[in-house]
Amino acid sequence: MRRILLLVGGLLLSCSVSALEVAGVQLADKTQVGNASLQLNGAGIRTKFFFKIYVGALYLPQKQTSAEAIIADEHIHRMALYMLHDLGSKKLYGAFSEAIEMNQTPAALAAMDGQMKQMKQIFDAVNEVQPGDVITLDYTPGSGTQISVNGKSFGTIAGAEFNRALLSIWIGNNPVQDDLKKGLLGG
């Protein structure tokens, strides 16, 4: 009986160590995107005016601590946003576009005009996200960035440069929040 209790206790302890919890959100240490198995690189919480907006989690093929290397990398990856606050499509798109603009040159923004319009259309189709919803941004080289909410795809936006602009929101030179960047980079 004692062996069974020790075994069960050990299993419970190992389960609690294998996943990360941030702001009450339990994050898997691994996820699957297409045929690729990705591991949790890091996570953090996005706040604005003392409101908890979402928990962000970055999944990569292998752990990386260099933002520049992650942004330049051409491998499958996932950025997941676990919503803690409700946001309408206008605020959601506004937050994304403003953060992209902070990290891009006017020429780069002009080159992505069509992709930005497509992202706006996708967020308009989403309409609103509620606490508990999960937005995933899955990048696949050659295909683009698939935007899904709760597992339902709302569209794919082509282009590696567009995906780099998205990643710059969180881990670029002017991230939306420094401590979120640090958490996503495993800090």
DSSP states of 92-152: HHHHHHHHHHHHS-HHHHHHTHHHHHHHHHHHHHH-EE-TT-EEEEEEETTTEEEEEETTE
Q: Structure tokens of 1?
A: 């009986």
In percent, the amount of the chain with pLDDT more than 70 equals: 90
Dihedral sign (CA 110, 114, 118, 121): positive
Closest alpha carbon to 86 in 51, 62, 112, 60 = 51
Measured between alpha carbons, how far is 105 from 129 in angstroms, rounded to an integer? 30
User: Which domains can be identified in the chain, with CATH numbers?
Assistant: 21-184 (3.50.70.10)
Average pLDDT over residues 87-91: 92
User: Which pLDDT band holds residue 110 (cuts at 50, 70, 90)?
Assistant: very high
Over 60: is that where the pLDDT of 12 sits? no
User: Which pLDDT band holds residue 5 (cuts at 50, 70, 90)?
Assistant: very low
pTM: 0.87
Q: Which residue has the higher pLDDT, 2 or 52?
A: 52
The total number of residues written for the chain in this structure: 187
Q: What number of other Cβ atoms are within 10 A of residue 1's Cβ?
A: 5
In percent, the amount of the chain with pLDDT more than 90 equals: 82
User: Which pLDDT band holds residue 20 (cuts at 50, 70, 90)?
Assistant: confident
Average pLDDT over residues 81-109: 94
Per the CB < 8 A criterion, the answer to whether 121 and 162 are in contact is no
Helix or strand or coil: residue 28?
Answer: coil
pLDDT in tens, 120-152: 999 999 999 999 999 999 999 999 999 999 999
pLDDT value, residue 36: 94
Dihedral sign (CA 171, 172, 178, 182): positive
Determine what percent of the chain falls in helix, strand and coil, rounding each to the nearest 5.
Answer: 40, 35, 25
